[in-house]
Amino acid sequence: MRYISTRGRAPVLEFNDVLLTGLARDGGLYLPESWPQFDAAEIRAMRGLPYAVLAARVIAPFTGGQIAPSDLTAILHESYRNFGHEAVAPLRQLEVNLWVMELFHGPTLAFKDFALQFLGRAFDHVLRRRGERITIVGATSGDTGPAAIEACRDRDAIDIFFLYPQGRVSPVQRRQMTTVDAANVHAIAIEGNFDDCQDLVKAMFNDTVFRDELRLSAANSINWARIMAQIVYYFHAAVALGAPDRAISFAVPTGNFGNIYAGYAARAMGLPIDQLIAGANVNDILPRFFASGELRATTVTPTISPSMDIQISSNFERFLFELYGRDGAATQSALTEFRASGTLKVGDNLWQKARETFDGYRLDDDETRSVIGDIHAADGYLLDPHSAIGVAAARARRRDPATPIVALATAHPAKFPDAVQAASGVFPALPPVLADLHDRPERFEVLANDLGQIEAFIRAKVSAAGAA
């Protein structure tokens, strides 16, 4: 399996190098040269498999044999061994043909654990065999940082730095980063929004001197291995509900477009997905695109679903690349136009092509609270604000009521207790393993939105670690 950049000018790489590289050297994102294919019999044979075994079947083609099958299986079993539910990603039925897939039973109570528990162990496996060390830099709107830090803490061959927007993540999300007592972990609060954090990370990767000196790698969903690991739970849900002998749809609370893009990848691999619905809060650039064919950035507005307070969705580049027929030059030209003007209009033919699979839906904070309150009043089930948007999107935009639809529950309600309590009257408690989170001492840096200052900080910390 070989990997190409969405901008068409970076070296073609194999899996282990893509894993360690993260962002392509031309500024693009890596994708497989072609999609692995599963026929109906192969998908049918996935029914009833334990999650880790299913994951090995879905992921193995992407590794191209660079991780031995026995090692891959061992890594995946270890990745999901400590999840808080035996099914790992259990399905709960809310209504006729409407299901919630709970993706919050991992160690940091968010869907990011599915990819990052695997990613941390895959990094460790490859680095140990190569005798190498890397520096991970990433940006988070709330959940990626805790999950990446938890997966990479105390690993000898990794230093990890995560940028988050100061005051724009929940207290639980912040403390899951700032209370980790590990010398290789560094949480950085940036004076700005998530898009600023994401731009800083991309700028560090595009600074080739800094990138090569510190051997930068990525744990954000710009790293292909993140998307690859998230594809698995689409297969998991689909086969549980009758695939390949019936179609299935998904509604996904969407910020950086990585989670829903994994569904698009599963569809490209042969899974019979009828519809993918992108749910958003008032930062609704993606629903507006699917409604009009125009990508138009506006100001980021803080909401009670802060992980989706994003205007520039990095993984949308991967979808644009597919939409433009895998033409790297066309993709780069479109993105350059978007960065310059804040607007990108695709032709009607490409918009209609996107609409064949995708739809979008937007909720404001009051509407989100209503969904949380109504569902809790109906059967006592609590949703966090992001997951509530997913459920609402499924209800509002599903095309065929006869087709099962799964809304992805991406975070435990206890990660956003104030919002959930205001909507439902119930304060969701943290699981016992995190019960003392608010009593743990915090450790973080506050830095300006300044590339030079941030690079200097990271360089000093890595140098100090190397000298120790």
pLDDT at 78: 97
User: Which of these is catalytic: 112, 345, 353, 461?
Assistant: 112
Could you give the residue ranges of the DSSP H alpha helices within 359-450? 365-379, 385-397, 417-424
Share of the chain above pLDDT 90, in %: 92
Q: Which two tokens stand for residue 410?
A: 């991406």
The per-residue pLDDT for range 244-285, each reduced to its tens digit, is: 999 999 999 998 899 999 999 999 999 999 999 999 999 999
Compute the distance between CA of residue 52 and CA of residue 63 in angstroms, rounded to an integer.
16
Confidence at 135, pLDDT banded by 50, 70, 90: very high
pLDDT at 467: 57
Q: Which two tokens stand for residue 49?
A: 């498999």
What is the tally of structural domains in the chain?
Answer: 1
CATH code: domain of residue 386: 3.40.50.1100
Residue 198 C-alpha from the chain's centroid: 13
Whether residue 202 lies in the annotated active site: no
Q: What are phi and psi of 170, to 5 degrees?
A: -70, 155
State the first-to-last Cα distance of the chain, in angstroms, to the nearest integer.
Answer: 39
pLDDT at 433: 86
Whether 38 is in a domain gets the answer no
Question: Per-residue pLDDT for 468 more than 60?
Answer: no
185-190 and 445-447 as β-strands: parallel, antiparallel, unpaired?
parallel
pLDDT at 278: 98
Strand order in the sheet with 405-409: 91-95, 98-102, 405-409, 248-253, 273-280, 358-362
The per-residue pLDDT for range 185-244, each reduced to its tens digit, is: 999 999 999 999 999 999 999 999 999 999 999 888 889 999 999 999 999 999 999 999
Q: What is the DSSP string of 125-172?
A: HHHHHHT--EEEEEE-SSSHHHHHHHHHTT-TTEEEEEEEETT-S-HH
Whether 430 is in a domain gets the answer no
pLDDT at 466: 65
DSSP H or E stretch at residue 405: strand 405-409
Mean pLDDT check: name the lowest of 223-237, 302-316, 355-369: 302-316
405-409 and 358-362 as β-strands: parallel, antiparallel, unpaired?
unpaired
Q: Which two tokens stand for residue 276?
A: 């993918």
pLDDT at 457: 97
8 A C-beta contact, residue 331 and residue 321 = yes
Q: What is the mean pLDDT of the chain?
A: 95
Whether 370 is in a domain gets the answer yes
Whether 119 is in a domain gets the answer no
Q: CA triplet 324, 390, 255: central angle to 5 degrees?
A: 50
Residue 279's beta-bridge partner residues? 253, 361
8 A C-beta contact, residue 303 and residue 419 = no
More confident: 18 or 23: 18
Question: Per-residue pLDDT for 441 more than 60?
Answer: yes
Mean pLDDT check: name the lowest of 131-145, 353-367, 389-403: 131-145
Could you tell me the pTM of the whole model? 0.93
Whether 241 is in a domain gets the answer yes
pLDDT at 256: 87
pLDDT at 141: 86
Average pLDDT (33-57) is: 98
pLDDT at 463: 84
pLDDT at 93: 97
Average pLDDT (383-391) is: 98
Beta carbons within 10 angstroms of residue 429's beta carbon: 11
What is the domain extent for residue 385?
91-107+224-424
Average pLDDT (383-393) is: 98
Confidence at 22, pLDDT banded by 50, 70, 90: confident
Whether 270 is in a domain gets the answer yes
Whether 146 is in a domain gets the answer no
Q: How far is CA 16 from CA 60, 213, 236, 328, 345, in A?
A: 13, 20, 25, 22, 36
